[in-house]
């Protein structure tokens, strides 16, 4: 009989708060090297990362939902990881920095069968393996491989030519959109999170917390450019083996994040919350259903019904927002993309309305932007056009101007949105538009709840 899915357990009523590190705040040893960049160069880098992310999501959607070997989307696969967490795994613990990815399920990291940190990685043997830390399984007393007869083994794509008759271990292979791949063993370990945890009736306690029996992918053979600059991925998707499904099993299968404005407060960390923190009981939340794309079940979709500029609804045909039966279209809520993206011609309607809804003079757009205003005479942020998005159940998401416009040299305010070309074919609410909102994802009830808060202070 197949073994049941491993489950991390915590005390009833608890929640966990984990710092979220933006890629701009990480040292070169933890993420991609970040040379000194001008504002224009920085946003070119952001656009390039967004393009990689969008292409990868689009490629993954076009794969058959019935093909376990379909290529997957991950921040690691496109080099577009935006937020990271620090995770300790094993006994004694070994510490790693993982990409937080709401577009994939599996938590995995690079592994080695060596017993010493000086051992050469059991991987592709190339330069990429020398840049990154690896988890040394033989140095951990709590490590064990998952059997190929386990229920868990059926939710990961099998390795090529793998037969359960030939091995007692569950071997998988993830192939990414850029043809990189990670092959390894689905395993169980004890993880430790550097968290603040509390019950609803107790004061917050700052201490590491061990969570046993956590299922993760131990990648022993990693090939390609995808993994340069990453120890691995923290999958936050909707599948049964994701971080939130495992850790969240004891806290209601809910997770939240609260993203600080990394342009204005780069020294402060955002937060990732597993469970239901007391803050959600103190502030009013708006809720809208999450939709499921049968061809990409890990992604979080919402149903956009209307877009307003300065309170006026734009004429945008409803079918432009529809997630169809083939998995095309729809609107994804994503942390791995910075700028929001809207399908054509919806974006052109938004752009046209925004360009005529401000007393500020328009100027020639900066490279990479479609609309810029001269803000020299800006008296208040209300001089900038405001945008609101109406979700299903008539729920209104109204981000402030700081989430919609970015500062550029020469006292310019430029629209931080883009149109989706035919290759993308879907809309994305990126992390910039979500800043200073508590975004709570309830997997049990398939709902997204949100409220406007000061994320630099709400959990401190």
* pLDDT confidence of residue 10: 43
* pLDDT confidence of residue 434: 96
Residues linked to residue 273 through DSSP beta bridges, in sequence order: 17, 256
Q: Kindly indicate the confidence band of residue 225, based on its pLDDT and cuts at 50, 70 and 90.
A: low
* pLDDT confidence of residue 18: 83
Residues linked to residue 172 through DSSP beta bridges, in sequence order: 158, 184
| Maximum average pLDDT range among 85-89, 201-205, 367-371 | 367-371
* pLDDT confidence of residue 5: 41
Q: Which class is domain 279-452?
A: mainly beta
pLDDT at 415 over 90: yes
In this structure, are residues 418 and 346 in contact, taking their beta carbons and an 8 Å threshold? no
pLDDT at 256 over 70: yes
* pLDDT confidence of residue 121: 42
Residues linked to residue 187 through DSSP beta bridges, in sequence order: 145, 216
* pLDDT confidence of residue 126: 37
- What is the mean pLDDT of the segment spanning 138-160? 91
pLDDT at 135 over 80: yes
- What is the mean pLDDT of the segment spanning 420-445? 89
Domain 15-47+67-274 and domain 279-452 have a common topology: yes
- What is the mean pLDDT of the segment spanning 414-424? 82
pLDDT at 309 over 60: yes
Going by C-alpha positions, the residue among 249, 458, 441, 177 that lies closest to residue 333 is 441
Going by C-alpha positions, the residue among 60, 66, 80, 61 that lies closest to residue 176 is 60
What is the value of pTM for the model shown? 0.85
* pLDDT confidence of residue 422: 59
- 141, two tokens: 């007393």
In this structure, are residues 140 and 210 in contact, taking their beta carbons and an 8 Å threshold? no
Residue 115: C-alpha distances to residues 96, 112, 118, 350, 418 (Å): 17, 8, 9, 57, 49
In this structure, are residues 440 and 333 in contact, taking their beta carbons and an 8 Å threshold? no
| Maximum average pLDDT range among 65-79, 109-123, 343-357 | 343-357
The string of DSSP letters for 206-267 reads EEEEEEEEEEEEEEEEEESGGGTT-SEEEE-SSSTTSHHHHHGGGTTSEEEEE---TTT-TT
pLDDT at 117 over 60: no
- What is the mean pLDDT of the segment spanning 342-371? 94
Q: What sign does the CA torsion over 92, 97, 100, 101 have?
A: negative
Q: Kindly indicate the confidence band of residue 165, based on its pLDDT and cuts at 50, 70 and 90.
A: confident
Question: Quick one: what percent of the chain has pLDDT higher than 70?
Answer: 76
* pLDDT confidence of residue 132: 43
Residue with tokens 């931080």: 416
Listed in sequence order, the residues at least 6 apart from 153 whose beta carbon sits closer than 8 Å to its beta carbon are: 146, 147, 164, 170, 172, 186
Q: Helix, strand, coil shares of the chain as percentages rounded to 5?
A: 15, 35, 50
| pLDDT tens digits, 176-195 | 656 677 889 999 999 986 55
| pLDDT tens digits, 229-243 | 568 888 888 888 999
What topology does CATH give the domain 15-47+67-274?
Cathepsin D, subunit A; domain 1 (2.40.70)
In this structure, are residues 310 and 49 in contact, taking their beta carbons and an 8 Å threshold? no
CA–CA dist 161, 278 (Å, integer): 49
- What is the mean pLDDT of the segment spanning 399-418? 93
pLDDT at 12 over 60: no
Would you name the residues annotated as active-site residues? 101, 334
Length of the chain: 460
- What is the mean pLDDT of the segment spanning 197-208? 52
Q: Kindly indicate the confidence band of residue 17, based on its pLDDT and cuts at 50, 70 and 90.
A: confident
- 23, two tokens: 């890629």
Structural domain boundaries in the chain: 15-47+67-274, 279-452
456 phi and psi angles, rounded to 5 deg: -75, -10
Going by C-alpha positions, the residue among 297, 253, 233, 274 that lies closest to residue 87 is 233
CA–CA dist 206, 116 (Å, integer): 31
- What is the mean pLDDT of the segment spanning 315-325? 93
CA–CA dist 214, 189 (Å, integer): 5
Query: Mapping DSSP to helix (H, G, I), strand (E, B) and coil, where does residue 90 land?
Result: coil
- What is the mean pLDDT of the segment spanning 349-354? 97
HSE (side-chain half, CA atoms, 13 Å) at 418: 24
* pLDDT confidence of residue 196: 55
Would you give the end-to-end CA distance of the chain in angstroms?
A: 47
| Low-confidence winner among 134-148, 221-235, 283-297, 374-388 (lowest mean pLDDT) | 221-235
């Amino acid at each position: 009989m197949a073994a049941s899915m491993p489950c991390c357990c915590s005390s009833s009523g608890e929640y966990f708060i984990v710092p979220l590190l933006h890629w701009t705040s990480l040292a070169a040893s933890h993420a991609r090297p970040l040379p000194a960049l001008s504002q224009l160069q920085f946003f070119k880098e952001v656009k390039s990362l967004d393009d990689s992310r969008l292409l990868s999501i689009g490629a993954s959607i076009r794969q058959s939902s019935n093909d376990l070997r379909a290529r997957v989307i991950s921040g690691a696969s496109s080099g577009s990881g935006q937020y990271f967490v620090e995770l300790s795994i094993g006994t004694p613990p070994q510490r790693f920095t993982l990409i937080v990815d709401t577009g994939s399920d599996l938590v995995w990291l690079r592994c080695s069968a060596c017993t010493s940190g000086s051992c050469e990685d059991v991987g592709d043997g190339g330069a990429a393996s020398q840049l990154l830390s690896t988890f040394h399984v033989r140095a951990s007393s709590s490590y064990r491989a998952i059997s190929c007869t386990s229920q868990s083994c059926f939710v990961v794509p099998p390795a090529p030519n793998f037969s359960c008759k030939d091995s007692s271990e569950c071997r998988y292979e993830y192939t990414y959109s850029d043809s990189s791949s990670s092959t390894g063993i689905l395993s169980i370990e004890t993880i430790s999170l550097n968290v603040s945890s509390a019950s609803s009736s107790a004061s917050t306690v700052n201490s590491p917390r061990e969570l046993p029996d956590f299922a993760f992918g131990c990648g022993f053979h990693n090939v390609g450019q995808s993994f340069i600059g990453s120890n691995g991925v923290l999958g936050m998707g909707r599948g049964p083996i994701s971080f939130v499904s495992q850790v969240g099993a004891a806290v209601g299968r809910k997770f939240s994040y609260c993203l600080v404005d990394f342009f204005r407060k780069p020294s402060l960390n955002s937060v990732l919350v597993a469970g239901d923190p007391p803050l959600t009981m103190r502030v009013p939340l708006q809720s809208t259903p999450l939709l499921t794309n049968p061809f990409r079940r890990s992604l979080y979709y919402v149903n956009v019904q209307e877009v307003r500029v300065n309170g006026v609804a734009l004429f945008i045909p409803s079918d432009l927002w529809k997630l169809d039966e083939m998995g095309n279209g729809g609107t994804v809520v994503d942390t791995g993309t910075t700028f929001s993206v809207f399908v054509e011609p919806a974006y052109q309607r938004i752009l046209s309305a925004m360009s005529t809804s401000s007393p500020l003079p328009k100027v020639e757009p900066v490279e990479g932007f479609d609309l810029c205003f001269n803000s020299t005479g800006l008296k208040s942020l209300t001089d900038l056009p405001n945008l609101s998005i109406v979700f299903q159940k008539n729920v209104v998401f109204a981000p402030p101007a700081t989430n919609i416009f970015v500062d550029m040299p020469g006292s310019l305010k430029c629209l931080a949105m883009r149109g989706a070309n035919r290759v993308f074919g879907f809309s994305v609410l990126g992390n910039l538009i979500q800043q200073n909102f508590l975004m709570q994802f309830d997997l049990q009830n398939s709902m997204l709840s949100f409220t406007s808060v000061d994320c630099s202070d709400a959990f401190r």
